[in-house]
């Protein structure tokens, strides 16, 4: 088992370029099986979620080659419509494969998806939307069996703007007969990216980024060469780390409008933020004020994937903060680890009251999920003394070379057996 050894108290200075967004790359991998032509996805991060999705495509019969930072996918020989339970239970994003498999094979068998343990994430919205497109669904013994004679366009309304359900509808409707109108769609930048990718393959999709997405079914799709949007969550994590440690950091590749609320909150903390084109620069003294309230919401609201990192920031700031988590009911599982460092946090259901203290101290910490693990790293970087973080497999799901990137901007940390 590997662990991170982190010596806190170092200022962060320099430049980091954000990787391609994990939450964009994974559905793009799914979409690649919609064509029997070659697909190239540029700048793909070397994270375990990506490697797991590559394994899934290979199980289906596709060829997946990693060429430097690019991935070349050829699905002409794909012939399997069933995903092994060992892979679906490891990766939540495997659920995106339902819509793509139904489009390609008119059949799909998939175990209930896994991923981080941050609470229930039912896929009822996915299944009810697919039924509207003519899919017959049977659930038994932990597996979802889907089939259809033909996919037909339909009018679909989501009761909640689920990212996964929105992407599944897009993947299932893109080659369906007729027109599909999806109301109540998720608006995340990664949804817009999927639209861009599908249209680059010859699809007719419009409206992504708004409440209504319209899809006109086409008969075939061709290959594409595509560069995904930058990872706003990775970028946000590094900006928060610099805010906690103090220093000056420029993050390249990410558009400010994609993390607008985070930048607003960091200004509330006392940081100076400068934006230009796809560059965001933060200047921090390391002496921060607490945010009065942070409440997670679907995009363009505050992202749940940055909630834990901002809680870590508020632990050693002046004042008190109220953190409200509206999307996942057990996303405060990382709080006992921060309390080991001296944090004053009181969890009440889906809310947490954070009372800032002058400084956290080092401790032995265990990551319990992806973003909670990132929050522990952020807290340790700003703490007094040395911390150890174990269970790095969670962090590896979403951050490529975390230790190397932070070391290059002045942090003192190393990854050891």
Residues with a known catalytic role = 116
Do β-strands 247-252 and 279-284 pair in parallel, antiparallel, or remain unpaired? antiparallel
249 prior amide bond cis, ω within 30: no
Q: Buried b / exposed e across 29-65, counting CB within 10 Å, b at 16+?
A: bbbbbbbbbbbbbebbbebbbbebbbbbbeebebebe
- Nearest Cα neighbor of 36 from 63, 71, 74, 66 is 74
Are 194 and 27 contacting, i.e. CB atoms less than 8 angstroms apart?
Answer: yes
Residue 197 is classified by DSSP as: H
| Sequence-distant (≥ 6) Cβ neighbours of residue 230 within 8 angstroms | 18, 19, 20, 21, 253, 254, 255, 278
Are 332 and 338 contacting, i.e. CB atoms less than 8 angstroms apart?
Answer: no
Phi first, then psi: give them for residue 389, nearest 5 degrees. -120, 125
How far CA 103 is from CA of 111, 138, 150, 174, 199, in Å, comes to 18, 18, 9, 8, 16
Are 189 and 232 contacting, i.e. CB atoms less than 8 angstroms apart?
Answer: yes
- Nearest Cα neighbor of 361 from 341, 345, 376 is 341
Are 163 and 187 contacting, i.e. CB atoms less than 8 angstroms apart?
Answer: no
Helix axis angle for 163-173 and 124-132, nearest 10°, is 20
Structure tokens at 344: 């004053």
Query: Which region holds residue 385: left if phi is over 0, alpha if psi is between -120 and 50, else beta?
Result: left
Name the 3-class secondary structure at 355. strand
In this structure, is the dihedral angle defined by the CA atoms of residues 192, 193, 195 and 199, taken in order, positive or negative? Answer: positive
Beta-ladder partners of 105: none
Length, in residues, of the chain: 417
Phi first, then psi: give them for residue 414, nearest 5 degrees. -150, 150
Structure tokens at 178: 């007729």
């Amino acid at each position: 088992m590997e662990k991170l050894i982190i010596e806190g108290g170092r200022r962060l200075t320099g430049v980091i370029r954000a990787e391609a967004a994990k939450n964009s790359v994974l559905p793009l991998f799914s979409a690649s099986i919609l064509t029997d032509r070659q697909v190239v996805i540029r700048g793909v991060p070397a994270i375990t979620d990506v490697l797991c999705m590559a394994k899934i495509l290979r199980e289906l019969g596709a060829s997946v080659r990693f060429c430097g930072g690019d991935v070349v996918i050829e699905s002409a020989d794909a012939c399997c419509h069933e995903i092994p339970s060992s892979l679906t239970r490891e990766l939540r994003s495997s659920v995106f494969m339902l819509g793509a498999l139904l489009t390609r094979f008119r059949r799909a068998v998939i175990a209930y998806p896994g991923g981080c343990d941050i609470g229930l994430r039912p896929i009822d919205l996915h299944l009810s939307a697919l039924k509207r497109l003519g899919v017959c669904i049977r659930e038994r013994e932990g597996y979802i069996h889907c089939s259809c004679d033909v996919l037909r366009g339909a009018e679909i309304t989501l009761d909640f703007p689920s990212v996964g359900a929105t992407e599944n509808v897009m993947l299932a409707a893109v080659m369906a007969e007729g027109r599909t109108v999806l109301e109540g769609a998720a608006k995340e930048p990664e949804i817009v990216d999927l639209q861009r990718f599908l249209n680059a393959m010859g699809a007719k999709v419009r409206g992504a980024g708004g409440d209504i997405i319209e899809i006109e079914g086409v008969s075939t799709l061709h290959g594409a060469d595509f560069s995904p949007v930058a990872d706003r969550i990775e970028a946000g994590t590094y900006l928060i780390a610099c805010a906690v440690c103090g220093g000056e950091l420029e993050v390249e590749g990410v558009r400010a409008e994609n993390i607008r609320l985070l930048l607003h909150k960091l200004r509330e903390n006392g940081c100076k933020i400068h934006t230009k084109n796809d560059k965001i620069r933060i200047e921090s003294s390391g002496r921060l004020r607490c945010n009065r309230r942070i409440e997670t919401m679907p995009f363009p609201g505050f992202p749940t994937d940055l909630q834990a990192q901002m809680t870590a920031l508020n632990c050693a700031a002046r004042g008190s903060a109220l953190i409200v988590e509206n999307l996942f009911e057990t996303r405060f599982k990382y709080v006992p680890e921060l309390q080991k460092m001296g944090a004053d946090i009181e969890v009440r259901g889906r809310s947490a009251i954070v009372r800032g203290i002058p400084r956290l101290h080092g401790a032995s910490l265990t990551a319990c999920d992806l973003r909670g693990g990132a929050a522990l790293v952020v807290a340790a970087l700003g703490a007094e003394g040395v911390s150890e973080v174990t269970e790095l497999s969670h962090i590896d799901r979403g951050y490529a070379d975390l230790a190397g990137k932070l070391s290059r901007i002045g942090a003192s940390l190393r990854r050891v057996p």
